[in-house]
A and B are shown apart, each in its own frame.
Chain A
Amino acid sequence: MLTRNAALLSRGIRQASSDVRRVTLIPGDGIGPEISSSVVKIFEAAKAPIDWDPVDVTPVKGKDGKMRIPPKCIELMHQNKVGLKGPLATPIGKGHRSLNLAVRLEFDLYANVRPCRSLAGHKTLYDNVDVVTIRENTEGEYSGIEHEVSKGVMQSIKLITEKASRNIANYAFEYARSQGRKMVTAVHKANIMRMSDGLFLRMCREEAAKYPDIKFKEAYLDTVCLNMVQDPSQYDVLVMPNLYGDILSDLCAGLVGGLGVTPSGNIGKDAAVFESVHGTAPDIAGQDKANPTALLLSSVMMLRYMKLNEHARKIENACFEAISEGNCKTGDLGGNGTCTSFTNDIIARIQNSD
């Protein structure tokens, strides 16, 4: 009885949109703080029922000597269950694990979702892109397990498990169904990596059988690359293991205008972190030149995840309008504005639409 009430209560908390939700905000490094504050201001203007808990995830030395995310941050995340993350710096080849990776593993955010849609007003060489890449986020080539077997011989281990593959396949079909998508394509290289990608494919096929309303296709990674740059409209939702997903999602982002305009979400069973995937751009940090679109669109994804669809729609429309019509957009979008002017433009449009 008690557990049932608790369950109902917690469900109620999650579903009541009039309640204020707490979201962990990780501003990040470089341009992170600027674009985070843009998002916060825009949310205020849209009267979104979100309260932010900003944290710093710079790793600290744990008791065992290893660098870890500060425990306070972890506690907050477990409490809030939703996070918005700005860009974090990752040192190349330095030896400690990537922070992004650590955040994902800590909260078992097993699915990385990146919808790539061509933006009206930001013209690229590819017009009709509407692809969603869903990538397995916890294992695969990024398991981080590497060692030097003997001098000059390095071994990197790619791990594929049935559980993770099933989870991601299931998520992909659920996502397709909930977003009204028609087709899911599994991207793999099972002709070469027969056992590992073979397992992944098998799980996808099993899940596909449970969703007869959604078309399921399988395609080799190289075929997808070849076709994507010739005709991106032939793909809808793509699901794949970690490494391919990383590369393909960046490829798709490139088709629509780069990482500066692409949202991304990392979804787990009961937590989610939405993030901007561009770099920290230290060269323009602090100069009000940063483009907050990526983080803003990610926060819109977050609102949808939290079922605050009305607010999501308002902010998204304002953002798209600002990009297609306005001339306050930042330099990378082809405008002459600053971060602040762009933010204010969006705020103005939100307030006008009310």
Chain B
Amino acid sequence: SILTRSRSVLDLSSFHRIFPLLDTGQRHFLAQYGEIADPSGIDYEYDHDYVEKTNEFVPTLRPRMFAATVSRSYNSLKRKHYYHTNMVDVKVHEENGFRSDGVIGRILPVYVMEKRPMLYQVCPQLIELYSVLEESTGATYLTTEYVEVAARIHQGWRRLTSVGFCVRSSHAGVCGARLPLMHLVGVGKKGNDNFYTTDMDEYNRVNTQDVLFRGTGRGPLFMLTRNVIAGASALQKAVSTQVATRALVTAAASPKLDVATKLKVTSIPGDGVGPELIYCVKDIVEGTGIPLEFEEVFLSEVHYSRSSSIESAIEAIARNNGVALKGAIEESAVRQAHGDVQGLNMQLRRQLDLFANVVHIKSLEGIKTRHSNPLDFVIVREQTEGEYSSLEHELVPGVIECLKITTAPNCERIAKFAFDYATKHGRKKVTCVHKANIMKLGDGLFLEICKETAKRYPRIEFDQMIIDNTCMQLVNKPEQFDVMVMPNLYGNIVDNLASGLVGGAGVVTGQSFGRDFVIFEPGSRHSFQQAMGRGIANPAAMILCTANMLEHLHLVDHGKALRKAVEGVIREGKVRTRDLGGYSSTNEFADAVIEKYTI
């Protein structure tokens, strides 16, 4: 072949590790593209439209295309994602009631060499550039029929050998690798050496010499440039040391592709001791070399004049992998005169649609509790509606009405989440906590939907309990609970009650899940104003939240190590903050964790 087949930059096994967040459908789609054109003659063939049928991918031969815009739709009945490169199919799906997620990105076809699929870097900037090229030139020949990927940089002429390139051009720097995706104008051969250029002038100039050019008779060739390849190789290296790679895929739209070695997350310190705890986490992150970078957003109701807006906070979270670490934001009594103004917390939850709050109640060794049995249960709380809908009004002076809203779709969502969570984490029982004997319609609906959902999960036991009884059971026999699901207010009560059982607000973690965002925060949300600035608050909860966050970001080893360190410090019992019976400070606890941390 004229052009040496480039070495594989990433093979499929590393692909799975690098893009584990793509669901199976996406992986199949990207991996099962047809066969790339071998410059010696085989043409591209790849699937044009991916529709999942009976778990088997059936590729169909379609006219070839270079890069495809991928849109996604979701069938909530079958709970499957569908990927399309064809707008017609998108429309068909939408008409059939599938939820359309719109364009989710673009892909390059997979390079298949000798029937072994390989994947090249999927880089958003790359694809954007391609479309810019396409639009700006308007030339139809840009819709090329195949792609070549070079494994080396190009600058001027390069001699493509099986070993490496060498510079031969007198135009050094002219056709340098400015852009991620370059259009190969000419490909030539002299003797055993292959040459290529991206510069038309160069092509014309050299053409007269004794280099035979094949030209790009079959249509233009494109290459990924050094940045991308370097990034991709760094990626490959990164995979072996398990540094975060997700940032690469979700990088901001900057023209220069930076290889990220740290994952960016948003931090929202909040009020009270929140800032101290977040700084403590930052210290630990720096001291242990965990690859995290925080972008801080100041959100506060009390200091409303200096607070960022919710929109900018949401942008920040979306920018930084959709993940945030949050302290408690105090609700201010000063600002609201009206009952239908939602607090900042509720606004954040509603706008990010963080419908599920999961608090994991786990006994930690070293913390003395009144119960002898170790506890390990999960509280799933619906947190966008219910009693906290902030719909209040004064009917006549002295009579105030507050509405509690319960809707079927939200109940379904939270019920399904609870059962899915139970399934995913190997839990055996889900208990629905309600007060349907009194609120027959509202909580009655919630209970009904939980019962219906339970039928779809025959392997998980379903139980229901009235909230009063639940509280009593929690103080007497808390070990009977596994996963509990409940509406908003009861969730608040049970979260705090259960936190008190295992050691208080300083040791319990929580997460607020939405479809696209997760916020990690301590399980029982108290800003602990009395301790503000005194450095006495217990940072264990916040650190454990960080460990959860690391696991969520697929930095599993780091997360586990951090959790082990915290549990070790607590188990030893030498460094204890006031809520656990000692006199250590927040910083002393952080230092102890750093010391104990080993990966």
Contacts and interface: CB of A to CB of B under 8 A. Distances in A.
- Pick the most buried of B341, B440, B490: most chain A CB atoms within 10 A of its CB: B440
A43 B102 CA distance: 76
Contacts of A259: 472
B336 A247 contact: no
A195 B339 contact: yes
Nearest to A150: B407
A146 interface: yes
Given A154-B405, A191-B331, A223-B496, A125 B524 contact: no
Interface in A166-196: 189-196
A159 B399 contact: yes
A91 B466 CA distance: 13
Contacts of A153: 405-408
B476 A152 contact: no
B404 A192 contact: no
B501 A221 contact: no
A247 B486 CA distance: 14
A199 interface: yes
B472 A192 contact: no
Interface string A148-165: 100111111111111100
Interface string B414-439: 00000000000000000000011111
B371 A125 contact: yes
Nearest to B446: A154
Contacts of A281: none
Contacts of A155: 403-406, 442
Interface stretch (A29-37, A225-233, A338-346): A225-233
A147 B441 contact: yes
A146 B442 contact: yes
A146 B441 contact: yes
Contact of A223 (B336, B437, B526): B526
Interface stretch (A71-79, A204-212, A250-258, A284-292): A250-258
Interface stretch (A51-59, A93-101, A307-315): A93-101
B167 interface: no
A69 interface: no
A230 B504 contact: yes
Contact of B489 (A125, A146, A198, A243): A243
- Pick the most buried of A93, A221, A227, A230: most chain B CB atoms within 10 A of its CB: A93
Interface in A259-306: 259
A101 B398 CA distance: 23
Interface stretch (B1-9, B126-134, B192-200, B385-393): B385-393
A181 B309 CA distance: 47
B220 interface: no
Nearest to B500: A229
Contacts of B399: 159-162
B88 interface: no
Nearest to B399: A161
Contacts of A250: 468-469, 471-472
A226 B501 CA distance: 8
A304 B3 CA distance: 101
Given A154-B445, A159-B400, A226-B526, A92 B437 contact: yes
Contact of A161 (B398, B436, B468): B398
A236 interface: no
A195 B405 CA distance: 17
B409 to A, nearest CB: 7
Contact of A125 (B475, B505, B526): B475
Contacts of B524: 222, 226
Contact of B392 (A151, A156, A191, A193): A193
B499 interface: yes
B402 A154 contact: no
A126 interface: yes
Interface string A237-250: 00000010011101
Contacts of B336: 194
A103 B265 CA distance: 56
A98 B439 contact: no
Contact of A154 (B370, B392, B442): B442
A141 B439 contact: yes
B10 interface: no
Contacts of B495: 222
Interface string A308-337: 000000000000000000000000000000
Interface in A93-129: 93-95, 98, 101, 124-126
A142 B371 CA distance: 33
Given A125-B476, A154-B405, A254-B473, 16 more contacts: A90-B437, A92-B437, A93-B447, A95-B440, A141-B387, A154-B445, A156-B439, A158-B402, A192-B390, A195-B394, A222-B495, A223-B526, A227-B500, A229-B475, A253-B472, A258-B472
Interface of B: 330-331, 333, 336, 338-339, 341, 343, 346, 370-371, 387-388, 390, 392-394, 397-409, 435-442, 444-445, 447, 467-469, 471-476, 489-490, 492-493, 495-497, 499-501, 504-505, 524-526
13 contacts: A153-B405, A155-B406, A190-B333, A192-B346, A195-B339, A221-B493, A226-B496, A228-B497, A228-B500, A247-B468, A247-B490, A251-B472, A254-B473
Task: Please name the 6 residue pairs, one residue from A and one from B, whose CB atoms are nearest each other, closest first.
Answer: A152-B408, A254-B472, A195-B339, A162-B398, A229-B500, A191-B331
